[in-house]
Each structure stands twice: as C-alpha cells, then as structure tokens.
Amino acid sequence: MPSVCASLSTPLSSSPEDLVFCAAFALAWEQLRARFGPIRMDPQPALADALNATTLGADVVDPAWSVSGAGFGGEGIVEALRAELFSKFPDAKPEYLPEAVSADDLLAYGYLSKILRFETRFAVREGTFKNSRVRAFGPSGSPLGADPARRAQVVVHDWAAPEDFVIELVSDDPDSRIVVAQMAPAETLAATAASAVARLDRLHGEARQLARDEPLAIPRLKLDLEEHFGELTGRPLLVEALGGKRIAEAKQRVQFHLNEGGAGATSEAVLGSYGPPPRSFLVTDPFLVLLQRRGASAPYLAAWVESTAWMEVLGEVIPPPGWGTGYGTPSGYGMPPGYGMPPGWGTPSGTT
C-alpha cells in the first residue's frame, strides 16, 4: 500500500511499498521550529530529528503556492492562516484548518498546491508496469497530428539502458520540472532524488530529443492519501515556551496526479496541541495484567494481552458516521479521508 512520509530522509530499503513525500508537513514543522527552536520531545522520535534537520526555502517551495504558520489560538493564528489561504487559493476547501481554537491551543499548519499542464496533451495508450497492463500516456506513434509537439515536450537527460534513464516532461511553467527517472533506488528517498537530479543535463544535442521511432509510455498516476504520524503525538514537548504541551494531532493529506494532461500536487498538514483530553479508561489497545501480593517485589501472574484470543468476541466495531480521531479535537478535525471534498479535488479539469 502507498504511504505518505513527512521527511525525504525516509529509508527506501526498508519500505518496499510506494512512498510519497510532499512538503506541506515539513513546512508546518519548519514554522514551529522558527518560532520555538528545534522541537524536542520525551522521548525524542527519529522523525522529529529528521524534521528538525529539514530546511525548505523559497527555492524549494514558492510562497505563491504555499501557506504555513504556527502559533497559539490567542495570537490569532487561525484567522491569519485562513486569510492567507483564501487570498492565495480562493477555491480551497481545507479539511485540517479549524474555524477556531482555544487561546492556549498550539497550531502549526501547512498547505501546498501546484498544478502543471502540458501545452499539448499526450495520447492515452496502454502500457505495462511489472507484470500488469496499465493505462499510460505518451506519443501516439503516428507521424501525423500532434506527435511532433508531444515529442518536443520530452527532454532526455540521461539514458544508460532500457531500465535506467532520466527524462523530463516540459509543462506550461518554465520554473518547474516534471522528472521521471527509472533507476535503482538509493537508501533513502532523498538520496534517490539527489541521484536523479545529478543526472540532469548529461546529454546534449540530438541525444536530448525523443526521436520519432523511440517509444515512450508512462503509467498514469493518481493518489489521495492521508497519514497520521503517531510517533509525534502524546509526548511532552521539552521546549520551555511550550510548557510541557503534547501534540495531539499530526497528520497530512496528499493528492497527486500525473497523466496525459499534466501533473499536480495538493497537500495539507496540521500539528495541533489542544489541551488535555477528558479522562477515560477504555482498554482498547494491548495491555498488561498483573496479580501481585501487596508489598511483594514481583507478581505471581503477569499477562500481556495483544489479541482477542482470550476474549469473547461479539463482532467488528463499526464507527458511526462522521466519527473523528479522538477527544479534544476542534470542529472539522479528524473526519474520514475525503469527507466534504468534491471528486477530483486538486486535479485540473479534463486530466483524469
């Protein structure tokens, strides 16, 4: 199954499944770090260290297609974020940005949206990926019609073998690149991306052009994923200005497409500390049972319960409609993925 990672330093060697990074979560964390310094927790997760080491400047994310900020409710952080978001993206439908939070609540938020289009749409065709036939796009193979313009939108940066090459698809934004690299992965997503970037502009002259008899087929891609970063939640923050607060919510949604019409990414991320939840004592996760004499140094029975094998199972839990992600979440948080979103959100018209 595909998953979202918050840091480019995420290993690929231990993640044989699909992996996608989009900068919205790192933008929110960067705003936290700019306000309070490196974020420390007890205990400190590796992801927090990776995010503390991440620096995203305007050369990586253009402020024109991103919004981010961090602060307390009493400082007007929500109002400032909403004003900026809708001034830049009037049609945005944020799921993670609340209408309001309490004065002492901490909120860090990131939003990114960028759509790239091909001036000449590629042809829809059939391709293969591993052992599957898939819908793909590329030139139609005909010497007539739009194919010369389609081939002109392909820049060959490097070619070593049929299974090892780096190409670029030219979009309507000369400041952005769509790079497709079929190559062996490096240890991390960051190292793999750096390896592909290092191979740009290796070829010159006619070798950079896609010849009429050179086939091209790229699988269509479309995803809509949400990830909760549980390793960042529930741990006391050791930053003095945060007074031992705990992050209650850390999540990101990424929508991405690549097809014959272009490519696009829309992502939203939030980190929030909303004060202590109401006390409850519902044993819903693995737990320990001890039988021990009062004053004894060891129990005479210890049981660690991981499964329902010891229990009387009545059936599966069916959450009620609109069920959220826990206590203490402001209105609009924790809704199921896709809740309130129109079909094709983040995808330009006619490119699906």
The tokens for 281 are: 């004592």
Phi, psi (degrees; rounded to nearest 5) at 172: -80, -5
In the chain, which ranges are continuous DSSP H helix?
Answer: 24-36, 46-52, 77-88, 147-152, 189-198
Dist. CA 270–CA 253, nearest whole Å: 9
Q: Per DSSP, what are the bridge partners of residue 68?
A: 110
Dist. CA 146–CA 261, nearest whole Å: 14
Are the CB atoms for 137 and 146 separated by under 8 Å?
no
Dist. CA 40–CA 44, nearest whole Å: 6
Are the CB atoms for 223 and 265 separated by under 8 Å?
no
Strand, helix or coil for residue 318: coil
Please tell me the predicted confidence (pLDDT) of residue 280. Answer: 76
Please tell me the predicted confidence (pLDDT) of residue 1. Answer: 73
Domain ranges of the chain: 3-117+221-273, 130-219
Query: The dihedral of CA 274, 277, 283, 286: what is its sign?
Result: positive
pTM passes above 0.85: no
Please tell me the predicted confidence (pLDDT) of residue 321. Answer: 57
The most distant pair of C-alpha atoms in the chain lies apart, rounded to whole Å, by 89
Are the CB atoms for 247 and 237 separated by under 8 Å?
yes
Please tell me the predicted confidence (pLDDT) of residue 9. Answer: 92
Please tell me the predicted confidence (pLDDT) of residue 300. Answer: 82
Are the CB atoms for 61 and 27 separated by under 8 Å?
yes
> Which class for 193: exposed (0-12), middle (13-18), buried (19 or more C-beta within 10 A)?
middle
The one-digit pLDDT tens for each residue of the chain (352 residues) are 789 999 999 998 655 578 999 999 999 999 999 999 999 999 999 999 999 999 887 889 999 999 999 999 999 999 999 999 999 999 999 999 999 999 999 999 999 999 999 999 999 999 999 889 999 999 998 877 889 999 999 999 999 999 999 999 999 999 999 999 999 999 999 999 999 999 999 999 999 999 999 999 999 999 999 999 999 999 999 988 887 799 999 999 999 999 999 999 999 999 999 876 667 778 888 889 988 989 989 888 888 899 999 888 888 877 665 544 443 344 333 333 343 333 344 334 344 3
240-271 CB burial, b ≥16 within 10 A, e <16: eebeebbbbbbbbbbbbbbbbbbbbbbbbbbb
Dist. CA 289–CA 270, nearest whole Å: 36
Dist. CA 269–CA 44, nearest whole Å: 21
Task: Kindly list the distances between the CA atom of residue 74 and the CA atoms of 33, 71, 334, in Å, as whole numbers in the listed order.
Answer: 19, 8, 22
Task: Kindly list the distances between the CA atom of residue 186 and the CA atoms of 12, 44, 47, 178, 249, in Å, as whole numbers in the listed order.
Answer: 7, 26, 19, 20, 31
Please tell me the predicted confidence (pLDDT) of residue 14. Answer: 57
Please tell me the predicted confidence (pLDDT) of residue 276. Answer: 64
Residue bearing tokens 């995203």: 56
Query: The dihedral of CA 64, 66, 70, 72: what is its sign?
Result: positive
The tokens for 117 are: 């289009």
